[in-house]
Structure 1
Amino acid sequence: MWSQSDHAKAMSEPSSESINADLTQTYADQYNNHFSIKKEQNTFYALLTEQGINRKFKIEKTFGHYPLQQYLVATGNGHLQVLPYSWDARPKEQDGQRWFHINQGVTDKLDTENRYHWQQPLQNWNGMCADCHSSQLQRNFDSDNNLFNSAWKEINVGCLSCHNEHAPNYTASNKPTGTWQRDTTGKVAKWIGEPRNTQTIETCFSCHSLREPLTDGFSAQGHYLDKHSPSLLELPFYYPDGQIKDEVYVYGSFMQSKMAQAGVNCLDCHDKHNMKVKVQGDGLCLSCHSADEYFTNKHNKHQGSTDSTQCVDCHMPETTYMGVDARRDHSFIIPNAPLAHAYQSPDVCLSCHTDKNKQWSINAYKSLFGEVPPRSDSSHTFALARAGKLSEHNKLWLVINDINFPVIKRAATLMLLPQLFTQLTGEQLTPYLNSKEELIRLAATKISSLLTEQDKAKYLGLRLTDPRKAVRVEAVKQLLYNPIPERWHKQFIAAVDEFNIMQDQSLWRAEGLLNQADKWLGGNEPAKAIALYLAAIKRDPYFDGSYINLAELYRQLGKKNLEQSIYAKAINNKIATPAMHFSFGLFFIRQGKLQESVLLLSQAAQADASNSHYRYIYLLSLQKMGYIAKYNIELNKARTDFPKQAIFFSVNSL
């Protein structure tokens, strides 16, 4: 069973059996890029033509198998890079059995001066992908020499990814006893038996989650929050109502669900070795949910049961990643077209009715179901706040304190507070810093930057000895340059070691070096910070954050010429992000060059129209230049886009 699973085929040595691609086919596009794989004796090679340059790389490993297969090549210093030309392993009837460019949804023309080009760090296997495609992998990265010496115990996701090699054999005698049962009158099954532990589901989440590693490699055993620090439904990775948007895997969505609250875990629906669902189609859902209640036209409002009206079509909508990989949302949403549009989140009805529009969907929904209220006041407040449509910010405290609301959503609500409040007191934050819920403690520690220096020293000490490493590391981050009471010195030093190990895990990419630079800057070591910012620029010349932070440091040091030279270097490297345009625009404002600043601020505001700060500063620049007509147009647009933000209503039309 396992041998035919996605886990078994997560990575393989290249062979005629492991390579799915039809080697007689080639890839070509309108940019004159060409790609193919050829076998020479017993070795497979990738033949590439990009930007008029022909290159040949040995295929080191196959990467995945379905619905797409990718290929790894060595580029020196132990770096394995993921080629962008992937094999669509789906059947021909689904437009498969062909080569395609993994970034086809954006552009095929990703030249080497783009940070998403396959030779750049973001396409590096060792750092981005490796720990979830091989068992007990360690990156073993040497930052000084930009060198990987990665190693693993099993090349694929084998036994050691889920089982402790030193543990006794798993037997029926140590298997928790219990089962899901539904009585004759019940709508949904309930767990009857011993309480379920979380070890199984946490083992799955180690890979099936968007998270930051705390250590170099991990084993199957141990608590999830001692190995990883998860994303807490942050925007823009998730939609305002919590639906998945970017490639966030399963943890964040599933932990929002009523199923998770009821104690359901992955192995209730998926086979533990082949990972496939235990029953195909609606039968899986009906093993717990009453057919009389849910397998009816009264419930789904669609005539008959067809492949297009399965439970998952409405409750687990798909999002396609990597061009061909359709993945389902695991929050098990209850569709509500009017609310979806109010929350600026996907309307699942339109995922099937693709020829219809927003108003049709709202009208059809109301015709079928009437006026359906939100699932709860908390869910409504949560989504409105994340969509920027909540004016009564104090309502967020009701969400955070709602013990019936999913813990991860309560934690995500805490994460909104820095956007709405400039300061909190220790008394306000203490109940959450000391919560029995680990994710609440983690979120509260993350936002403790809202505390005064005195309150941090008084209230964060206990988090240095928190049972979970993710919380301890976050506490260090908040206390790093804060006076530490004598009674916490020993605990602080121990937690700092964990913090440093966590930071080391991302040094292979510019973001990691930038974090290290920021740490030294916070410790009033500008020379060390400058060296690390420059190292970050060298490691990833196309990451905007390194330039912006270094330019800002030069500004603080009064080195105007160096500040301008950094912006010029960024522009020369074709970095045209909204943040770069905005920062460079502010530079020109400080130099009194308003014409240049207006152009850059306009580009930032247009490219990131959801950023109210960019929009506001752009408005001020238009006013300063005396562009009255344009100012009034942009002000009216901003008031429409941000109806709850008082700042756009505190200024007058001209």
Structure 2
Amino acid sequence: MLSILQNPFSRFLPWVVVASIITGCDSPTEPPAAKPRISEETSSPIYPRQERGTGVNGVAFVPTESCAECHEPQFREWVGSHHDWAMKVATESTVKGNFNNTTYAVHGITTRFFRDNEKFMVETEGPSGEPEIFEIGYTFGVEPLQQYLIAFPKGRLQSFNVAWDTKKEQWFTLYPDEKVPYDDPIHWTGRYQSWNVMCAECHSTNLRNQYDFQTDTFKTVWDEINVSCQACHGPGENHIDWARNINPGQVYEQEEYQLTVNFKESPQAQVDQCARCHSRRHSISIEDDHSGTFLDHYVPETLRSDLYHVDGQIKEEVYVYGSFVQSKMYHAGVSCMDCHNPHTLKPWLPDNALCTSCHSLDPPISRFASLKPKEYDTPDHHHHQVATEAASCVNCHMPERMYMEVDGRRDHSLRIPRPELTVDIGTPNACNQCHEEETPEWALAAVETWYGPRTPTSQTQYARAIAAADKGELGSQQTLLALAQDLDLPSIYRATAVERIEPNNEAALAAVRNLTRDADPLVRLHAVRVSSNLMEPETIESFVALLTDPKRSVRFEAARSLADYPVEMIPDSAASSFESIVQEYAASLEAHGDMPGNRFNLGILRMSQGRGEEAIEAYRTALTMDPFLLPVRFNLAGILNMLGRNAEAEKVLREGIRRHPEEGELYYSLGLLMAESQRWADAAQFLGQAAQRVEGRPRIWYNYALALQQAGDLPGAEKAYQEGLRAIPDDTDLLYAVTVFYLQQGRVEEARIYAEPLVKQHPDNPEYQIMLERIRRQLSPQ
């Protein structure tokens, strides 16, 4: 039976935050904000402003100068750091770019940078696609590039896509490979280049976006414009009060300091503090007030194939955390501050001296018991000339990738180069990243000559398992399950393995459901997300138990998944906590409703609650924000169809085809919608387009042929059946349909040709047996 495909994609678009700006910071005294002359299209901007706020338990943030009164050495180290330069008001002393009436041309757009007295101006393509003049409001970062922010209406700051290369001292575009259309959300004037949405919370101290869900407006405030002391240490009011009332000469314990954040709690706690910004993650709390833990405020991305290579090496910009938690060093208790001065952000020691401060003949075994006394900075180990780039520890163990065209970032998974994985599964290796002219086989031979045959490790076993699963190899799902259950692996490996379990693998899903009781919260979270496909009473029990999980991220995931079940299936004892967490989850989505993905998730939640009109509104708003989001478009068309509003659904799908002319699923959904209305000629047209664009989907050919039959185009229907069977020769539905088609035409011999393989595939199906027997009787002589 033909019916509209409600949502051929995932029913849940995960929360996503994609940051695209470098980190940096400003001085403690903020210059007054200028009142710039804005283009006519962007009049009446609302500027961010300074407003003292509070954090956990109402503890207030204090001026940075208060910290400097006692901590002058640390303050001096911080001044001039990337945190200090994270964001500054654009002034003569902060702007590094050339605004001396210079031009930069790319993709047919000429941008002019000039001065208007004290103001820094840019003339470039605006939101209408026409040249306009804008004033630079703020600088963003300092090296190796500096970006510039421009004020727009509704409290937005937009990040301009032409940046200043501070090393080469020249302008360059962040999108050299293609021209971004002015109406695309990724255009510099679009939503995905909004400072408020993509960058703000990690470039200022105690930033509150104060987003208005109904008007899509920001009234952003901060305590400090840049990343100052309390961005990391938390609000300092109590500590300042304590410090001003201590008895001179008395020794105090750490817990008496009245610090909001205790960096001496554990190495992992230190890393979690840095991860608040130095990670690829999305926010789930309305504000990060420095309470709780990392997973109470954020959900980090797993090692997704679009972000990382299958072995966990960095691919896209992922901001360190997801790499570092894979490393042996992290699991041995190494923290960010073991290598980096937290105030200058620079390594404690230069070059190999940093690494050999631990990896030496006299290692600090008292802290890291697994260290072995050994000399590493020697040709006996690295087989290169000492004190050269080739002998640099980081070039082999932390290879660099370039982001934003000029910004090199090192992989913090701190791994041994594995050319054997390059040979077998195509992952990069540090050897060939230097020796580009050589083959991976050459690199492998050299490594085996120096160190002997390569032996498997947890990293290589993980890499091979993920590669096999991505290819759909036989047995790979069981291997993934084994990885997920291996308590010795890094939690991000285990969570990634869980995430890749196929949703139709019921046996594996039942085992994954058991992982909702795992000790690791990241594993629990993804176990909930994946096992929610297993709609059974046991699943409800597992999720209900997690409504009291200590981590907000896990509670949210459990409540979101339970919302898919009829409310009467939720035990009475859990009803109150379930409703409370769902409301908190919805409030979080609204607080972050500046991102279309959160509007989409809100629409899914409202739909599961039976609040269809609110779901439609959420989906429509998400599409207004980003008209290219296909899952939103499918969900909106689906719910409109369910409500009998097919004309609106048709309009949604046709607009999708206009924007995505090669997306076969759109044609398929529109074809099914036409069929539901018995517009058979239109249905056949769109189903035919879908069949040409989507591979391996016999149901599309089946529906296409049926639509042609209904439209009276029998030759076309026959051709569609034949083409479908050439593409998928053993599909049961196609074999059955074409058999019936030929019988209806009285072409019994041709019907037999397809009925026989159908019966061979399904020897126990009585319907197929009877049909073949009738065909044979018709063909046998009387």
Q: TM-score range by the shorter chain?
A: 0.7 to 0.9
* Residue equivalent to 1:111: 181
Alpha carbons of structure 1 residues 66 and 355: separation in structure 2 relative to 1, 3 Å: same
Range 491-500 or range 351-360, more displaced:
351-360
Contact 2:103/2:113 (8 A) holds in 1: no
Deviation at 1:390, TM superposition (A): 4.3
Which among 112, 118, 136 is matched to residue 206 of structure 2?
Answer: 136
1:371 alignment counterpart: 453
Once the 2 structures are TM-superposed, how far is the Cα of residue 214 of structure 1 from its aligned partner?
1.6
Letter in 2 for 1:470: S
8 Å Cα contact 1:11/1:64 also seen in 2: yes
State which of 577, 580, 599 in structure 2 corresponds to 1:494.
580
Q: Which residue of 1 aligns with 2:432?
A: 350
1:6 aligns with 2:103: no
Of 84, 93, 97, which residue of structure 2 is paired with 1:21?
Answer: 97
Given the alignment of the two structures, is residue 77 of structure 1 paired with residue 154 of structure 2, yes or no? yes
Q: Does 1:41 align with 2:117?
A: yes
Q: Is residue 204 from structure 1 mapped to residue 293 from structure 2 by the alignment? A: no
- The separation in 1 between residues aligned to 2:724 and 2:563, in whole angstroms, is 47
SS of structure 2 residue aligned to 1:383: helix
Distance 1:67 1:310 in 2: 21
Q: In 2 relative to 1, CA 227–52 (structure 1 residues): closer, same or farther, beyond 3 Å? A: closer
Aligned to 2:227, which of 144, 157, 173? Answer: 157
**1:567 aligned residue (653, 666, 678):** 653
Is the counterpart of residue 459 in structure 1 residue 566 in structure 2? no
Q: What amino acid is aligned across from residue 40 of structure 1 in structure 2?
A: D
Mark the CA change 1:77 to 1:196 in structure 2 (over 3 Å): closer, same or farther: closer
Kept in 2, the 8 Å contact 1:582–1:601? The answer is no
Any stretches of 5+ residues in structure 2 without a counterpart?
1-76, 244-250, 256-263, 362-373, 706-718, 732-759, 762-782
Q: CA shift at 1:335, angstroms?
A: 1.1
1:308-356 deviation digits (Å, cap 9, x = unpaired) = 3311111111121112111111111211112134334223222112233
CA 1:273–1:221: 2 relative to 1, 3 Å: farther
The amino acid that maps onto 2:671 is: F
Q: Kindly tell me: are residues 299 and 555 of structure 1, through their superposed partners in 2, closer, same or farther at Cα, counting changes over 3 Å?
A: farther
Aligned equivalent of 1:396: 480
**Does residue 624 of structure 2 align to residue 538 of structure 1?**
yes
Q: Is the 8 A contact 1:83 1:118 kept in 2?
A: yes
Residue 67 of structure 1 corresponds to: 144
Contact 2:657–2:666, Cα closer than 8 Å, also in 1:
no
Map residues 92-111 of structure 1 onto 2, 5 A cutoff.
96-104=168-176, 106-107=177-178, 109-111=179-181
Instruction: Name the structure 2 match of 1:54.
Output: 131
Residues 251-292 of structure 1 show CA distances to partners (whole Å, capped at 9, x for unaligned) of 111111000110000000000101111111111111111264
Deviation at 1:137, TM superposition (A): 0.7
1:415 to 499, 502, 512: 499
- Post-superposition shift, 1:89? 1.3
Determine helix, strand or coil for the equivalent of 1:22: coil
Contact 1:285 1:311 in 2 (8 A): yes
- Rate the CA distance shift 1:455–1:7 in 2: closer, same or farther, 3 A: same
Task: Give the C-alpha shift of residue 245 in structure 1.
Answer: 1.4
Contact 1:374 1:380 in 2 (8 A): no
Name the residue aligned to 1:300. 382
Q: What is the identity, as a one-letter code, of the residue corresponding to 2:437?
A: D
TM-fit CA distance, 1:371: 3.4
* Contact map agreement 2:267 2:333 (CA 8 A) in 1: no
Change beyond 3 A, Cα 1:516–1:266: same
The CA distance in 1 between the partners of 2:175 and 2:698, in whole Å, is 30
Task: Give 1:260's match in structure 2, choosing from 325, 330, 333.
Answer: 330
Letter aligned with residue 129 of structure 1: C
Matched with 2:608 is 522
Find the aligned partners of 1:596 and 1:541 in 2 and give their Cα distance.
21
Partner of residue 608, structure 1 = none
Corresponding residue number in structure 2 for 1:166: 237
Q: Distance in 2 between matches of 1:230 and 1:247?
A: 13
Partner SS, residue 138 of structure 2: strand
| Residue 140 of structure 1, CA deviation | 0.9
CA distance in 2, matches of 1:127, 1:29: 28
| Superposition deviation, residue 528 in structure 1 | 2.4
Q: Secondary structure at the match of 2:239?
A: coil
Does the Cα contact within 8 Å between 1:208 and 1:251 map onto a contact in 2?
yes
CA RMSD of aligned residues (A): 3.3
Which of 482, 499, 519 lines up with 1:436 in the alignment? Answer: 519
Structure 1 residue 360, shift from structure 2 partner: 4.2
Provide the residue aligned with 1:127 in structure 2: 197
Q: Which moved more, 1:250-259 or 1:290-299?
A: 290-299
1:89 maps to 2:166: yes
Instruction: Name 1:446's counterpart in structure 2.
Output: 529
Distance 1:52 1:450 in 2: 45
1:646 is aligned to none
Q: What's the TM-score, normalizing by structure 2? A: 0.71
Amino acid at match of 1:353: H
| Greater shift in the superposed pair: 619-628 or 232-241 | 619-628
User: Alpha-carbon deviation of 1:404?
Assistant: 2.0
Structure 1 residues 250 and 615: alpha-carbon distance in aligned structure 2, compared to 1, 3 A threshold: farther
Distance 1:195 1:15, change over 3 A: closer
Q: Percent identity?
A: 29
Within 1, Cα distance between the matches of 2:610 and 2:515? 31
Distance apart, 1:34 and its partner CA: 1.8
* Aligned equivalents of 1:72, 1:159: Cα separation in 2: 23
Deviation at 1:43, TM superposition (A): 2.0
Partner letter of residue 273 of structure 2? T
Distance 1:13 1:432, change over 3 A: same
Counterpart residue number, 1:475: 558
TM superposition shift of 1:378: 4.4
Relative to structure 2, which stretch is displaced further, 117-126 or 587-596?
587-596
Output the TM-score relative to the length of structure 1.
0.84
Aligned-pair CA distance for 1:535: 1.9
More deviation, 342-351/469-478: 342-351
Q: Secondary structure at the match of 2:164?
A: strand
Query: Contact conserved, 1:32 with 1:52, CA < 8 A, in 2?
Result: no
Q: Specify the code of the residue in structure 2 equivalent to 1:469.
A: R
Assess, with a 3 A threshold, how the Cα gap between structure 1 residues 537 and 383 changes in structure 2: closer, same or farther.
closer
Counterpart residue type for residue 171 of structure 2: W
Q: 1:547-626 residue pairs with structure 2 within 5 A? A: 547-557=633-643, 559-572=645-658, 574-576=659-661, 580-588=663-671, 597=687, 599=689, 624=720, 626=722
Deviation at 1:502, TM superposition (A): 2.4
Structure 1 residue 464: deviation in Å? Answer: 0.8
**Change beyond 3 A, Cα 1:455–1:118:** same
Return the offset for 1:479: 0.9
Cα distance in 1 for partners of 2:523, 2:129 equals 53
8 Å CA contact 1:8–1:156 kept in 2: the answer is yes
* Paired amino acid for 1:321: Y
3-state DSSP of counterpart to 1:155 = coil
Q: Is the 8 A contact 1:241 1:345 kept in 2?
A: yes
> Could you tell me how far apart the structure 1 residues matched to 2:623 and 2:415 are?
42
CA offset digits 1:374-431 (Å, max 9, x no partner): 21374355433454364222233332232221122112212222356246676x3464
Give the Cα separation in 2 of the matches to 1:25 and 1:216. Answer: 43
| Match status 1:216 vs 2:299 | no
Matches of 1:400 and 1:215, distance apart in 2: 27
- After superposition, the Cα gap between the structure-2 partners of 1:583 and 1:567, relative to the gap in structure 1 and judged at 3 Å, is same
CA shift in 2, pair 1:619/1:263, >3 Å: farther
1:546-597 per-residue CA deviation (whole Å, 9 max, x = no partner) reads: 322222333444554433321222344x345x6x443324533766756655
2:300 equivalent among 230, 240, 255: 230
- The number of residue pairs the alignment matches comes to 601
8 A contact 1:423–1:450 mirrored in 2: no
Determine if contact 1:82/1:125 at 8 Å carries over to the other structure.
Answer: yes
Q: Residues 52 and 582 (structure 1 numbering): CA distance in 2 closer, same or farther, change over 3 Å?
A: closer
Q: Which residue of 2 aligns with 1:182?
A: none
The match for 1:313 is 395
- Tell me the alpha carbon deviations over residues 362-381 of structure 1, each in whole angstroms, 9 at most, x when there is no partner: 45545555531321374355
The structure with the largest alpha-carbon Rg is: 2
